[in-house]
Structure 1
Amino acid sequence: MTADADSAIQHGPRQQAPGLSASLTFLFSVTCALAVANVYFAQPLLDSMAQSLGVAPSMIGVVVTATQAGYALGLLFIVPLGDLLNRRRLILTQVVLSAGALAAVGASQQWLALLGAMTVVGLLAVVVQVLVAFAAALATPSQRGQAVGTVTSGIVLGILLARFTAGLIADIASWRAVYFASSALMLTLAMVLWRMVPAATEPRHRASYPALIRSLFTLFITEPTLRARGLLALLIFAAFSILWTAMVLPLSAPPLSLSHTAIGLFGLAGVAGALAARGAGRWADRGLGQRVTGIALGLLTLSWLPILFAETSLVALVGGVILLDFAVQAVHVTNQHIIFAARPDAHSRLVGAYMCFYSIGSALGAAAATLVYARWGWMAVSLLGALISASALVVWSLRRGDRQLHARRKDVRAAR
C-alpha cells in the first residue's frame, strides 16, 4: 500500500496507526447498513405501493429499477469523487441529501413523483461504496480482504434489516412511514458521522472532474480483471434481484397471503450472506479467491431448486434463500478483493466501475422478475434465476480455463 493510503487519519492532534482500526471498521459497517437499507425498503412494500398509487402489479417492479438506475448513475458520477475530494465531506453530504430524498418518497402522491424520488435515493445510496473504497484504502494489504468483508457484512445486514423493518413498520402504520422514519434516521446518522469520522488525508488524484470520469471509463477498457469480475457481478446480482423482487408477489397472494412483517422475516434467513462476506474476505486474503468463486457459483445455481417450491413449501424457500445469499455475498467480496489488488491507486474508481455491473444486473433482474411472474408465474421466475446463475458459473469456468491454458503456454515457452 502507498504511503498516502497508509497515512494516518487525523482527529484533532492525534494520529491513527497505519491500517484500519476495529472501531472505524465497525462505524463504517453500521453506516453502510443504515444507508443501503434505503435501496431495499421497497421490495416487501411493492404490493402496498401498487395499491396506494393505483399502479398495475406488472409495473410496480419499475420502482426497484428506478432506484437501481439512480444507483448506477451515482456509481459513475459520485463514487469516483472519493479519489478526488475529501472523503469525510463527501460522505456527510450524501447522508444529509439522502434524508431529503427519503422524505420526498414518503410524501409522493403521483407515480412519476415516486419514481423520481426513488431515483435520487438510489443516486445518493452509493455512499456505501465510498465507504468500501475508503476501508480498502486505509487497510494494510494483509487485512484488506477482511476489512472489505466486514464492511460488506454490514451492507448485507442492512439489506436484511431493511426488508424486515419495512414490513413491520408498514403493518403498523403504512409504507410511507417507512421512508419518513428513514429520513429522520439519516439526519441522526449525519450528526454522528460529523462527530466521529476523522478528517481523512486528501486523495492523491489531482486531475479535474471530467478527467476523473474519463479515467473511470478507461478502467473498463484497460483492466481485464475488472471486466471479468464485473460480468460475474452483473449475473449474480440479476439472480439476487429476481428472487427478492418477485418473492413478495406469491407470498402476499392467496393462498399464502402473508403480512408485510412475515414476508420481511424471510430476509433474516439471508443472514448467511453476512457470514459469507466475512469468511470470503479471509479466504481471499489467503489466496483462495478463485476456489471460493467456483464453489459459491455452484451453490447459487443449486439454490433455485428449493426456491422453485416456494408456493408449496416455506421451509424449502428458506433453505434456498440461505444458499443464494451465502453464494452471492461470497462471490461479491471475492470480486472486490481481486480488483482492488489490481490497482491500489484507484480504489474509488474501481469500486464505482465494478458496482455499475451490480446495478445494471439488479435493475434488469427486478424488471424481468415482475414481468415474468405476471405472465408465467413463479416456476418461470425460478427457471430464469437458475439459468442466469448457471451462466455465471459457465463464465467463470471459461475464464479459469483460459487462465490455466495461458499459464501452461507460458511454462512451455520458459522451458524452451
Structure 2
Amino acid sequence: MPSEVAAPGGAVETSEAHATRAARTARETGEARGARPAREARAQVPGGREAASRPVDAPVPRGNLLLVLIALCTAVTAANIYLAAPLLPLIARDFGSTPSAVAWIASVAQFGYAAGLLLFAPLGDRVNRRRLVAVLSLVTTAALLAGAGAAGTAALAATVFVASAATVVPQLLVPLVAERAPADRRARHVAAVIAGLFTGIVAARVLGGLAGQAFGWRAVFVGAAVLTTALGLLTAAALPAERRRPREGRLFAGLTAMPGLVRRSPDLWRACVRQAGMYGAWSALWTSLALLLTGGAYGMSTATAGLFGLFGLAAGVVAPLAGGLVDRFGAAKVVRNAYLLAAVSVPLFWLGGRVLVALFVAAIVIHVALVASHVANQTLALTTTSAPATANSAYVVAGFAGGATASALAGLAFSHFGWGGVVAVAGTWLALGWTTTTARR
C-alpha cells in the first residue's frame, strides 16, 4: 500500500503521486535550463565565496585555436609599449640628442599604459569586448602612425602615450580566458596569454632593434601599426558574442570602484604591491640596458644590443611551468620563490656592468622571476573578487605604475651614477615590494 507524504501547502499525497510530481518538476526544470543554455555561470573564488554572475556563451578556448589567437594578439599589442626602448639611440641621433636625454620616452609609454588601464580595462566588466578591442586597436594604429611622423621628442612622447594608453587589449582578454577556463587549469590558461605578452616584449626589443638598424626607427613604428590593425581586428571578430547584463551606474564606475575593491581584498592588495615591486625592478634594469650595452662599457650597435633581448624567451618556457605550479601549490609559494630569484639577479646585474657573462645569467634569472611572479599574482587577482576585469585593472595599474616610476628613476640614476645607480633602484624596488606586504597583517 503506498505511503503518504506531505505535499506543498500541507496537503497529503501518496508516495506514487509525490514521485510523479517530483519527476515532472525535474523535467520542467531541465527544460527551462535547456531554454537558456549556459547563459550564466557562477565562479568559485578562494575561500569558498562565489563571484557575481558572468556571461558564458561558449567555452574558451575551443580546440585551443582562440587561445592561440589571443596569445598572438597579446604579443603584438604588448610589444607596442616597449617599442621605443631599443630604438632610443636611433631616436636620439635623429633628433640630435643623446640616448640618456631621450630615455624618458620609455617611461612615458608605461605611464600611458597605466592611464589606459585605469580608463579602459575596467570596461571589460561592463561593455561588449568585441567592439572595445576593435576600437582600441584602431586608436593604437593611428597613434603609432602619428609617432612615425613625429618631428621632435615632445610630439613623439605624446603619440607614444596615446598608443600605450590604447594598448590595453591584453588586459581585456586575460579576464575572459580566466573566467571561462576549467577551474583546475585556470592558471595554465592565464599563463598561455602571459607567455604571449612576454614574447611580444622580447620581439619589441630584438626585432625592433634589428629592424630599426636596417630601416630606421620610423619604419618600425609603421610596421607595428600594421600588425596591430591586423591582429586586433581579427581577434575582435573571433571573440564569442557576449550578452551582458546591464549594470547600474556610470560607464567608468569601475575606475572609482578600484580603491575600495583593493582595500576590501587583502589578496588583491598583496598581489598589486608585490608585482609593483617585481615589475619595477625588471623595468629599471631592462629599459636602461640598451644604454649600458651601446655605451662605453661594451660599445655595441643598436642591433646587437637588441639581440640581447633573446634571453627574454625564457618567459615562453617559464609561464606554462609557473601556471602548473600555481594550480598545484598555490600562488603564495610561487611568488615567494620568484622574489628569491630576483634578489639573486640584482648582484649579478651589478657585476654585469663589467662582465658580460654575468649580464647573460642575470637577464635569464630576472625574466624567470618576473614571469613566475606575474602568473601567480595575476591568477590571484582574477579569482579573488566578483569583478575580475576591475580587479585585474587595479593589479596591472599597480604593476605598471611601479614599473614606470622605477624606470624614470633608473634613467636619472644612469645619468648621474651610471649602471650601479640603476641596479640600486632595482634592488630598492624589490625590497619595498616584499617588506611592505610582509609588514601588513
Q: Given the two structures, how large is their TM-score scaled by the length of structure 1?
A: 0.89
SS at match of 1:54: coil
Query: Alpha-carbon deviation of 1:273?
Result: 2.3
Residue 349 (structure 1) aligned with residue 398 (structure 2): no
Q: CA deviation digits over 1:231-256, x for unaligned, max 9?
A: 11111111111111111112101352
Query: Alpha-carbon deviation of 1:203?
Result: 5.7
Residue 317 (structure 1) aligned with residue 386 (structure 2): no
Query: Alpha-carbon deviation of 1:7?
Result: 2.1
Q: CA deviation digits over 1:56-85, x for unaligned, max 9?
A: 544322211211111111111100111111
Alignment correspondent of 1:266 = 308
Residue 383 (structure 1) aligned with residue 424 (structure 2): yes
Consecutive unaligned residues of structure 2, counting only runs of 5 or more, are 1-40, 44-52
Consecutive unaligned residues of structure 1, counting only runs of 5 or more, are 10-16, 403-416
Whole-angstrom CA distance in 2 between matches of 1:162 and 1:326 = 18
Alignment correspondent of 1:8 = 57
**Does the 8 A contact of 2:141 with 2:225 survive in 1?**
yes
Query: Alpha-carbon deviation of 1:18?
Result: 6.8
Deviates more, 1:254-263 or 1:368-377: 254-263
Find 1:228's aligned residue among 257, 270, 275. 270
Q: Residue type of the partner of 1:68?
A: Q
SS at match of 2:101: coil
SS at match of 1:76: helix
Alignment correspondent of 1:408 = none
**Does the 8 A contact of 1:20 with 1:139 survive in 2?**
no
Q: Residue type of the partner of 1:236?
A: M
Q: CA deviation digits over 1:301-334, x for unaligned, max 9?
A: 1101221122322221110000001001111111
**Structure 2 vs 1, CA of residues 102 and 47 (structure 1 numbering), >3 Å: closer, same or farther?**
same
Residue 147 (structure 1) aligned with residue 196 (structure 2): no
Q: Mapping of 1:198-237 within 5 angstroms?
A: 198-202=240-244, 205-237=247-279
Q: Mapping of 1:60-99 within 5 angstroms?
A: 60-99=102-141
SS at match of 1:308: helix
Find 2:400's aligned residue among 355, 359, 362. 359
Deviates more, 1:50-59 or 1:321-330: 50-59
SS at match of 1:209: coil
Higher RCO (CA 8 Å, separation ≥ 6 residues): 1
Whole-angstrom CA distance in 1 between matches of 2:308 and 2:179 = 35
Whole-angstrom CA distance in 2 between matches of 1:7 and 1:357 = 28
Q: What is the root-mean-square deviation of aligned Cα atoms in Å?
A: 2.0
**Does the 8 A contact of 2:175 with 2:389 survive in 1?**
yes
Whole-angstrom CA distance in 1 between matches of 2:380 and 2:292 = 38
**Structure 2 vs 1, CA of residues 192 and 290 (structure 1 numbering), >3 Å: closer, same or farther?**
same
Q: Mapping of 1:175-190 within 5 angstroms?
A: 175-190=217-232
Query: Alpha-carbon deviation of 1:194?
Result: 4.7
Query: Alpha-carbon deviation of 1:297?
Result: 0.1
SS at match of 1:202: coil
Q: CA deviation digits over 1:67-112, x for unaligned, max 9?
A: 1111111111100111111011111111111111110111101221
Query: Alpha-carbon deviation of 1:213?
Result: 2.7
Query: Alpha-carbon deviation of 1:349?
Result: 0.5
**Does the 8 A contact of 1:73 with 1:123 survive in 2?**
yes
Query: Considering only CA atoms, is the larger Rg found in Structure 1 or Structure 2?
Result: 2
Q: Given the two structures, how large is their TM-score scaled by the length of structure 2?
A: 0.84
Q: CA deviation digits over 1:330-353, x for unaligned, max 9?
A: 11111111122211x311101111
Whole-angstrom CA distance in 2 between matches of 1:144 and 1:320 = 30
Q: How many percent of aligned residue pairs carry the same amino acid?
A: 29
Residue 288 (structure 1) aligned with residue 341 (structure 2): no
Query: Alpha-carbon deviation of 1:19?
Result: 6.6
Whole-angstrom CA distance in 1 between matches of 2:140 and 2:261 = 28
**Does the 8 A contact of 1:369 with 1:381 survive in 2?**
yes
**Structure 2 vs 1, CA of residues 280 and 328 (structure 1 numbering), >3 Å: closer, same or farther?**
same
Q: Mapping of 1:128-147 within 5 angstroms?
A: 128-147=170-189
Whole-angstrom CA distance in 2 between matches of 1:144 and 1:88 = 22
